[in-house]
Amino acid sequence: MPNRTFPLNAWYAATWDAELRRELLPRVICNKKMVFYRRADGRAVALEDACWHRLLPLSMGRLEGDEVVCGYHGLVFDPHGRCTHMPSQETINPSACVRTFPVVEKHRFVWVWPGDPALADPTKVPDLHWNDDPEWEGDGKTIRVKCDYRLVIDNLMDLTHETFVHSSSIGNRAVAEAPFEPTHTDRTATITRWMRDIDPPPFWAGQLGKPGKVDRWQIINFEAPCTIAIDVGVAPAGTGAPEGDRSQGVNGFVLNTITPETDRTCHYHWAFVRNHKRNDQRRTTELREGVSRIFREDETILEAQQIAIDENPGHVFYNLNIDAGAMWARRLIDRMIAAEERRPILEAAE
């Protein structure tokens, strides 16, 4: 197994776009200290958060125009990481620069590429288009979770846990009992689960607003290394949703992208969007807070699980049927890491 737990050549969500302003924002991403800010024209910048001179984090300095002034001895760095001013001397040492990281803004996030800048292709930003698509309405938050980001992915790839962790909102026995189908490509893995003719759990009964049994779906789409878009919804039973006609139902997407901070902490960015009753801000806020409460239940589980894993180094985990999605996700992540390290990957026969 690879030692590194995440690939570096990937786009990671650093922050929500609205949270990046004309001020210095420090973030650790993939164990790298970075400082983010916006230039006067709005463009986002990411620099290494360590001054070339004596390594003081630049985030402890200040933004002046488009440049960062170090808070220790006043060296100034431009958005390309080049030093443009040194106190008490005319000539600037040509090696005085800090690393910059490629950034792009898309789907309401600022994305950063911690790996080889030459490989940073903006077309490879994970697909979270629902976040700013006018057909969809919603909002989200970020949780800093004290666990390996892959534990969050395991959690999302197997929604059986809803039955036990989220029994008061979205969980019911049907989730744990319904069969599911895993499929994959070389960058994606999908788990499709249909629960037909069931009683809707409270969350979905409220969204649908109609009595009676429902057909419920959960289609989990993983895009390596750390983005998961879950297509969820219910429709009155027998109205054709499994065959493709969702017109009688309600549909949402749980959008997740989990950015490794360190090997044991992560920034879990999520949003819940819907395509029904869109012009209802109160519903947007209520849904965001409702999902936020649900995810706090996950946070408790994940942090306890990380502590237990650390207490049991070398513990071997056995995979059950329900772990198929997580196994695929981890296999795709491991392949990305192995490709970066240019070494063959040892995989169980598929």
Q: Which residues bind ligand FES (CB under 6 A)?
A: 51, 53-54, 56, 70, 72-75
**Shortest Å distance, C-beta 86 to ligand FES:** 8
Question: Which residues contact residue 124 at a Cβ distance below 8 angstroms, ignoring those fewer than 6 apart?
Answer: 10, 11
**Rule CB under 5 A: is residue 334 a binding residue for Fe ion?**
no
Answer with the entry of ligand FES, Fe ion, none that 70 interacts with (C-beta below 5 to 8 A by kind): ligand FES
> Which residue in 203, 185, 189 sits closest to 250, CA to CA?
203
Among ligand FES, Fe ion, none, partner that 278 touches (CB below 5 to 8 angstroms by kind): none
Q: Which does 75 bind (CB under 5 to 8 A by kind): Fe ion, ligand FES, none?
A: ligand FES
| Nearest-angstrom CA–CA distance, 284 and 224 | 28
Site string for Fe ion, 251-290 (x = CB under 5 A): ----------------------------------------
Q: Which two tokens stand for residue 79?
A: 């958005």
Closest approach of Fe ion to the CB of residue 170, in Å: 8
19: left (phi over 0), alpha (psi -120 to 50) or beta: alpha
CB of 52: closest distance to ligand FES in angstroms?
7
In angstroms, give the least distance from the CB of 87 to ligand FES.
Answer: 8
CB 256 within 8 A of CB 228: yes
What's the closest the beta carbon of residue 50 comes to ligand FES, in angstroms? 9
Q: Is 298 in the site for Fe ion (CB under 5 A)?
A: yes
For strands 44-48 and 62-64, give the pairing.
unpaired
Length of the chain: 350
Helix, coil or strand: residue 240? coil
Q: Residue 349 class from Cβ within 10 Å (0-12 exposed, 13-18 middle, 19+ buried)?
A: exposed
**Closest distance of CB 346 from Fe ion, Å:** 31
Inter-residue contact 25 to 33 (CB < 8 Å): no
Instruction: Say whether residue 17 binds Fe ion (CB under 5 A).
Output: no
**Interaction partner, residue 72 (Fe ion, ligand FES, none; CB < 5-8 Å by kind):** ligand FES
- 298 touches which of ligand FES, Fe ion, none (CB within 5 to 8 A by kind)? Fe ion
C-alpha to C-alpha distance for 113 and 38, rounded to whole angstroms? 17
Which of Fe ion, ligand FES, none interacts with 51 (beta carbon under 5 to 8 A by kind)? Answer: ligand FES
Question: Within its chain, how far is the Cα of 44 from the centroid?
Answer: 19
Of 270, 305, 58, 10, the residue nearest 144 (C-alpha): 270
Q: Measured from the CB atom, is 154 or 261 closer to Fe ion?
A: 154
Which amino acid does the sequence have at 287?
L
When the beta carbons of 70 and 294 are compared against ligand FES, the nearer one is: 70
Closer residue to ligand FES, CB minimum distance, 66 or 105: 66
Residues near Fe ion (CB under 5 A) are 298
